[in-house]
Structure 1
Amino acid sequence: MKNQKSISILVLVITTLSIIATSYAIFSNQGPGEYEYQSIFEETVSIYGKGLYKHDSVSMAAQAIAQDYVTLFLGVPLLLFSLYLSRKGRLKGYLLLTGTLGYFLYTYASYSFLSMYNSMFLVYVILMSASFFAFTLEMISFEIAKLPLFFKEKLPVKLIGGFLLFASFVFGMMWLAKIVQPFINHSPTEGIEHYTTLVIQALDLGFIVPVGIIAGILLIMRKPFGYLLASVIIIKDITLLTALSAMIFLQIRAGVEVSSTIVILILLLNIVVIYLMFLILKNVKEVAGTASKRWEGHPM
């Protein structure tokens, strides 16, 4: 695999800085505590009032802290484990590493643009940048044309591709429902609170939903790029949906009202995506030898 040294250095930078950022966010607690704030949209917002997220809303702070826990105790170990496997020339390691880097890129892009300005801003920007370049280097390191040779024929491409299409449709419709009706009524969308725009919805509708649709279609058609794209987005979704599950738990704990439909949907998707990741990794055919031999087109 090409670019291994550069990727390893970037992964170590991401690991170090994410441990610093998440640990500080989880354990910082200074500040007066919760208070009310009137936003420019004339919405009364409960501000968290303490720690790193003291200027964020109670809802957003609960979500961010939940994601910090998932990043620290799931994302970082998975990042290091997948780097270890990739250094040993394992295709499973390359796929896991690429998907996990996708999670870090998404996470710290959202933190850089969404979170209220705080002392970790430059750390978020460095993490976003390092994740972007590491993810890009991983993606261009694959020999796409030969990739189907390293998956078993019994890989359930219709099941995995169908799920990606379904999940993309569900999230696309969910976010559009949140945006379109208030737009028609010339009113601010529910839950925008004191923030300036819908960053998560922009990232999902602009990148995640289209990529999920493309990955699903290409995989069903057994196109080479579909194997990579589907594997990466499924692995990324493991960490992302786990983070969303944790966010829901901490939001409920903080007294934020969460739709029971959303709770059930996220938990079910989380379970399904874990199962699909198991199917993908189970159907990878590893090649004996070094990483350089991986792309010679001779799977076991």
Structure 2
Amino acid sequence: MTMKKKNTILIWIIALLAAGVSIYGIFSNQPINVGQSVPTIHGDLVTLYGKGLYHNESLSMAAQVRAQDMVTLFLGVPFLLSSLYLSNKDSIKGKFLLTGVLGYFLYTYATYCFVAMYNNFFLLFTLLMGLSFFAFVINLSSLNAIQLNQYFSKMTARKYVSCSIILFGFAIGLMWLGRLFPALSGGVPEGLEHYTTLPIQALDLGIVVPAMIISGFSLLKEKKLGYLLAPVMIIKGITLLLAVDAMAISMLISGAEVSPAELIVFPLFTGVFCFNLYLMMKGVNTGKQSEAKQLSQ
């Protein structure tokens, strides 16, 4: 069996599992502990969602994860399979799209494993996280083996794209630090609720933000690492930003508190990153496909 076939099987498993988990998360609304409030270790009371798979989540978190499930089902899975189709046609653009959307699945199910309260789908979340990790590494490695500088020889907006990626990385970092710094004196970080820590902020500050900044500066200096990471981070950024936009709308509808940044800044960055993806894909030299084809065999 060729590497292409193995990769195709792996991606289809991820797509089918993610679709099934998302459908159940969206439509499971059976009452379990509706209206129940639980005390936190800080002495506050948090009202639980009380329904379906996410019955032990707070109202705010339940609105977010259900919105995430909708984005995964209606955008993430179709994007994953269409990217796989293009990648299997030996399209370098398809390979970038596939690697980027796999980054979304990896991040999404890592957060489900470490953020969400334990539920009956924990092992499925863990399986999806593991499969997405290995698929992401495999596809990123295949891109790393290609002479990417030659593919982006036609790119004309490199400086703008580089600077916007760097700016987004700093913006995310400052946003989370602005939420965390006030609690350093002994207070409770905003959004902690009845959870024990803040894994999303840890993942973003420890991995996503540095990766954004490194990829931006590397692209600015025309390094191979920049051409490798920048498209992947842009695609991953778009999918995650769309999820955040959906979360903000869902929280607003459910009556949860939503910050102005979530309602204004994130949709703005979504548009910017979609434009950046257009610029990068426009600058790809599609005439050089033979090298990618050889590596996919």
**Count of matched residue pairs:** 293
* Superposed displacement of residue 106, structure 1: 0.2
Query: Within 5 Å, which residues of 2 pair with 1:237-252?
Result: 237-252=237-252
CA-CA distance at 1:130 after TM superposition? 0.2
Question: Structure 2: how far apart are the matches of 1:222 and 1:283?
Answer: 14
- SS where residue 40 of structure 1 aligns? coil
Q: Distance in 2 between matches of 1:222 and 1:117?
A: 44
Q: 5 Å matches for 1:178-197?
A: 178-183=179-184, 185-197=185-197
1:12-51 equivalent positions in 2, closer than 5 A:
12-32=12-32, 33-51=34-52
Higher mean C-alpha displacement, 225-234 vs 29-38: 29-38
- What is the rounded CA distance, in whole Å, between the counterparts of 1:162 and 1:114 in structure 2? 31
Report the equivalent of 1:157.
Answer: 158
Instruction: For 1:43 and 1:155, locate their aligned partners in 2 and report how far apart those are by CA, in whole Å.
Output: 54
Retained in 2: the 8 A contact 1:34–1:50? no
Q: Which residue does 1:90 correspond to in 2?
A: 91
1:76-134 CA distance string (max 9 Å, x none): 00000000000000001000000000000000000011110111111000000000000
CA distance in 2, matches of 1:56, 1:194: 9
Structure 2 CA distance for aligned equivalents of residues 53 and 11 of structure 1: 26
Does the residue aligned with 1:187 lie in a helix, a strand or coil? coil
The corresponding residue for 1:75 is 76
- TM-score after normalising by structure 1: 0.94
Query: 1:153 deviation in Å?
Result: 3.1
| Unmatched 5+ stretches in structure 2 | none
Counterpart check, 1:236 vs 2:236? yes
Q: Give a deviation string over 1:144-166, Cα, whole Å, max 9, x none.
A: 56101011433311111101110
For residue 169 of structure 2, what is the aligned residue in structure 1? 168
Q: CA deviation at 1:49?
A: 0.3
Equivalent in the alignment of 1:112: 113
CA contact (8 A) 1:109 1:128 kept: yes
Runs of 5+ unmatched residues, structure 1? 296-300
Within 2, Cα distance between the matches of 1:204 and 1:210? 8
- In the TM superposition, what is the alpha-carbon distance from 1:35 to its structure 2 partner? 2.8
Matched with 1:298 is: none
**CA deviations over 1:13-66 (Å, ceiling 9, x no partner):** 111110110000000011142332211121221210001000000000000000
Q: Distance in 2 between matches of 1:3 and 1:202?
A: 34
Q: Which residue of 2 aligns with 1:137?
A: 138
Structure 2 equivalent of residue 128 of structure 1: 129
Shift in alpha-carbon separation, 1:241–1:289, aligned structure 2, 3 A: closer
Bigger drift between 174-183 and 50-59 goes to 174-183
In structure 2, C-alpha distance between the alignment counterparts of 1:43 and 1:142, rounded to whole Å? 49
Name the SS for the 2:41 alignment partner.
Answer: coil
| Aligned 8 A contact 1:150 1:284 in 2 | yes
User: SS of the residue aligned with 1:192?
Assistant: coil
Distance 1:206 1:289 in 2: 35
Deviation of 1:6 after TM superposition, in Å, equals 2.5
Q: Once the two structures are superposed, what CA deviation does each residue of 1:173-211 show, in whole Å capped at 9, x if it has no partner?
A: 11111112211x212212100111101000000100000
Partner AA of 1:40 in structure 2? I
Q: Does 2:273 correspond to 1:262?
A: no
Aligned to 2:277: 277
Measured at CA, do residues 194 and 204 of structure 1 come closer, stay the same or move farther in structure 2, by a change above 3 Å?
same
Equivalent residue number for residue 287 of structure 1: 287
